[in-house]
Amino acid sequence: MNRRCPRPSKRQYLDLGEHPLESGEVLPSVRVAYETYGELNVRRDNAILACHALTGDSHLTPHSAGDEPGWWDDMVGPGRALDTNRYQIICSNVLGGCYGTTGPSSTNPATGRPYGSGFPAVSIRDMVRIQYRLVKELGIHSLVTVTGGSMGGMQALEWALTYPDLVRSIIPMAACGRLSAQGIALNRVQRLAIMSDPDWQEGHYYGSAGPVSGLSLARMIGIITYKSEGLLAQQFGRRPQGEMRGKPPFDQSFSVESYLDYQGQKLVDRFDANTYLYLSRAMDLHDVARGRGGYEETLARIVCPVLSVGISSDYLFPPYQQREMVQILRRAGRDARYCELESPCGHDAFLVEQEALNLVIQEFLSGLNSEETGGLAWSRKASG
């Protein structure tokens, strides 16, 4: 069963036809799902591209009353960081996704059935190249900035290296140029949870319930890495979920366990398991230096201004990774700035702490041509 969740929003589609992948394989046809907010100016140079994370989609914020919430509701709109009175904001579902863009749940034109695990491997660079084709088809001459968190931040970095003439700045959040061994290990365990579920059926489960238990478990593991120990302690502690006395030991439940159960089922209801496999693997394989030389040498090729946002309590992408990128860029004489968001929310802070991020991004965008905000680092304490 394809567990994509339809949204009553202004999603648009663009058919791009054949597309070669970094692996050397060729997709015979690619469709991209995207949404826009705000209008392009006459010069067609006021666009901002927002890139989503692993389980995200193109829906940033409601377009009108009655529309579903998005994943960056408080970041997009008049007077906000992604100000629709000044910019046109674009967000597309990534290649390999399950929210309208071609991915493993899409129909393979050669067989008339979903690709499943026959879908070719995709990379962060493949995602960015599809976004580039979308941007050009929309007639955009340059991008004010490319921004996103986690996998979205990886895309922003790749944009600056692959299309430097089109990007005027980037704002990667809670991201780095290559995933750490710890990140790869955590993704491996999540994929094994899915692939060990007999209902995965080697990736060809469409038309059935699919690997419900495996995807749910993968999400639970992921959620643990997205939060901080302090936040879990504050929200749940050791509180029981209902009466525990007199029950068999494994029928007893803590509140944090019930929370994980809920989060696992919530993803099962809206996401495709194969997409989870493909996109998490794309994160593992991504290295901005691949085929370009050394890591520091490659990052030094980024010429546009960079705001790298770290999160103080991030376990998955620790803030030293964002500081390292800024230090490399500044040694190369680039305009690179670091902001550390002081938040207990862990990796998820780039989704949760939108009030603080609004101020950070507004400050950066307004100061792109000003020496006053060109310092190495500053911090922003989240209200929460």
Q: Tell whether 164 and 304 lie within a shared domain.
A: yes
Q: Is 109 exposed, middle or buried (0-12, 13-18, 19+ CB in 10 A)?
A: exposed
Question: Are 150 and 123 part of one and the same domain?
Answer: yes
Q: Are residues 131 and 246 in the same domain?
A: no
Task: Indicate if 29 and 148 belong to the same structural domain.
Answer: yes
Q: Is residue 1 part of a domain?
A: no
Q: 83, 126, 314, 348: which one is catalytic? A: 314
Whether residue 70 is contained in a domain is answered as: yes
CATH number at residue 144: 3.40.50.1820
Query: What confidence score (pLDDT) does residue 200 get?
Result: 98
Domain shared by 165 and 229, yes or no: no
Q: pLDDT per residue over 56-67, tens digit each?
A: 999 999 998 889
Q: Do 190 and 332 fall into the same domain? A: no
**Annotated active-site residue in 126, 213, 347, 348:** 347
Distance CA 120, CA 164 (A): 27
Bridge-based pairing state of the strands 170-173 and 143-149: parallel
Element (H, E) at 309: strand 306-311
**Domain check: are 54 and 90 in the same one?**
yes
Does 5 fall in a domain? no
- Is 355 in contact with 319 (CB distance < 8 Å)? no
307-350: per-residue pLDDT in tens?
999 999 999 999 999 999 999 999 999 999 999 999 999 999 99
Q: Are 239 and 330 contained in the same domain?
A: no
CATH (domain of 257): 1.10.1740.110
Q: Which amino acid is at 14?
A: L
Neighbours of 243 (CB within 10 A): 8
The Cα 107–Cα 125 span in angstroms is 23
Is 314 annotated as catalytic?
A: yes
- Single-letter amino acid, residue 6: P
* Domain boundary, last residue among 263, 282, 301: 282
Q: Identify whether residues 171 and 291 lie together within a single domain.
A: yes
Pick the catalytic residue: 150, 169, 280, 312? Answer: 150
Task: Output the six-digit token pair for 168.
Answer: 């005027």
Q: What is the pLDDT of residue 5?
A: 42
128 part of a folded domain: yes
Domain coverage including residue 298: 12-177+287-381
* Sites in the chain below the pLDDT cut of 50: 1-8, 370-376, 378, 383-384
Domain count, the chain: 2
What's the pLDDT at 10? 87
Is 150 annotated in the active site? yes
**What pLDDT is attached to residue 8?**
40
Does 2 map to a domain? no
Q: Are residue 170 and residue 299 in the same domain, yes or no?
A: yes
pLDDT of 373 = 38
Asked if residue 218 and residue 159 are part of one domain, the reply reads: no
**112 and 19 fall within a common domain:** yes
Is residue 67 included in any domain, yes or no?
yes
Residue 69 in domain? yes
Last residue of a domain, one of 282, 316, 344: 282
Q: Residue 341: inside a domain, yes or no?
A: yes
67 noted as active-site residue: no
Residue where a domain terminates, one of 241, 259, 282: 282
